Amino acid sequence: MSTSQVLQRLYSLDIYSPDVPRCLYCLFRSDDEEQYLTTLRGSELTRLVDFLDEILDVIPNTDDIFRRCLHKLRTLCGHNAILPSSYTISGSLSRVGDDPVGGGGFSDVWKGIHNGRKVCIKDPRFHVQNREAVKKSFCKEAITWKRLEHPNVVSFIGVTQNPLQIVSEWMPNGTVREYVNENPGANRVGLLLDVAEGLNYLHASHTTHGDLKGPNILVDCTGRACLADFGLASVVRGLTSVLVTEVQGYSGRWAAPEVLGSGDRNTREADVFSFGMVVVEERVPSASSVPWSRCRRL
């Protein structure tokens, strides 16, 4: 069957139908699939993107077809600078205060309120001429973030389109460095194990962090460390109008030697090196208090 015929067959099925995985395999193996899908526009493209998003909600993330669907959704959204309709948040969203509470090389961070709930609003900075390129990368990374669910990964809530903003879980204790400075007796080994478990989950989910460092590790209301901003640095990678020293500097104090040499940091090995630098950053005083029962699970 042609790609068009397979799609019509898929759209006629209930998403819980046992025939859906078989049809998806047919779709991804169709001879004209690559060319056909890249020509979709308007309502046809929106329909496919929303359909794949719905399918990912019901397919176990351990299945091979889940990974294929996620890859295809990332590709389509990145190429066309769009997101499934479910990603756009509904209800009221407002910023708290007149100034951002933080920021980095490519965004301002605001405390916000979404439907009565405290949230983090990340507002990317970019010039008009780079807007489309930023949006394409942003959409691709947002697809990944929504599908990551782990106690040690900051939860993705959604996006706003105008202006383009990322809305995520609010972390009341700030960065891990701020938390340790304010709580000298904090269990640093436990916090590092949180980071290791979060990083292990990302790698098991075929995702690299790309910018692991203290400022990108946040602490929730229970004192648990959570990873943030994984992959989001690639939103501005290569865009020369966005604070070049920050983008091309790759957070040098945490970066692996090969990253500094080549600029390619999307590897698990580079993440592990950066984790080692986070350990040094936290200056763990002794290994005598390490809860080894947790380490064995990593």
Q: 248 vs 135, 236, 255, CA distance in Å?
A: 19, 10, 11
Contact present, 195 and 152 (Cβ < 8 Å):
yes
Contact present, 138 and 74 (Cβ < 8 Å):
no
Strands 165-169 and 156-160 turn out to be antiparallel
Please give the Cα distance from 151 to 159 (Å, whole number).
21
- CB within 8 A of 114, min separation 6: which ones? 89, 91, 92, 93, 157, 167
SS3 label, residue 58: helix
Q: How many helices (H) and strands (E) does the chain have?
A: 12, 8
Instruction: Examine the residue annotation and report whether 50 is marked as an active-site residue of this protein.
Output: no
Report which DSSP code applies to 155. Answer: P
- CB within 8 A of 71, min separation 6: which ones? none
| Strand extents, DSSP E, the chain | 93-95, 102-103, 107-114, 117-124, 156-160, 165-169, 217-219, 225-227
- CB within 8 A of 261, min separation 6: which ones? none
Q: Which of 211, 220, 229, 271 is flagged as catalytic?
A: 211
Please give the Cα distance from 86 to 275 (Å, whole number).
33
Peptide bond into 163 cis (omega under 30): yes
Catalytic residues: 211
